[in-house]
Chain A
């Protein structure tokens, strides 16, 4: 089973770039890597997804090296409202069904 490992917490300041790395050594060939953001008292919200190299959207970038055993979520110029928990998710297929493995999450605190 693909298992993910993330730092438990990170601190940053407004305006800085934040990089959160997720390790997934046993990722399967067909699996994508997906990141979610969660605020208190809300469900997780999809941020970005990728398979390899680099993906960028309006809120974040995702960097995936060639061996795909890790990935890095990059948040440019964070603000206070980016304080949240960030989850790395790797799909894992088993036979005809599949299990989705959430990491334990990284709690990001953005300070003024």
Chain B
């Protein structure tokens, strides 16, 4: 089974802090994704990566950056956290191609105070 592991289930940070969310997958997948999930809004794509050091913006990239230095690891960075970034963050991975099923981690619930 594919396993996607997110480093923290719950995280509390303060406004203005730099925040790192880490995600690791163990199936040698080319594609990795970061979403945020908010009540009533479903899942919204922040960034995705189709290869090491490659990234593409999703629907809501503002205020976020990403890093993919190794194939198995995809990091989401909040450069200067703000309260409107309080949310559930979900990482996913899939094999190459736009129609491959995505495998999700269990999420990080991030609170910015």
Contact = CB atoms under 8 A, between A and B. Distances in A.
Given A87-B42, A100-B45, A104-B42, A49 B99 contact: yes
A44 B92 CA distance: 9
A46 B102 contact: yes
Interface of A is mostly: strand
30 contacts: A30-B98, A30-B99, A31-B98, A31-B99, A32-B99, A34-B99, A34-B101, A36-B102, A42-B107, A43-B4, A43-B90, A43-B92, A43-B104, A43-B105, A43-B107, A44-B102, A44-B104, A45-B104, A46-B102, A46-B103, A87-B42, A91-B99, A99-B45, A99-B59, A100-B45, A100-B98, A100-B102, A102-B42, A103-B42, A104-B40
Interface of A: 30-32, 34, 36, 41-46, 49, 87, 91, 93, 97-100, 102-105
Interface of B: 4, 33, 35, 40-45, 50, 56, 58-59, 90, 92, 98-99, 101-107
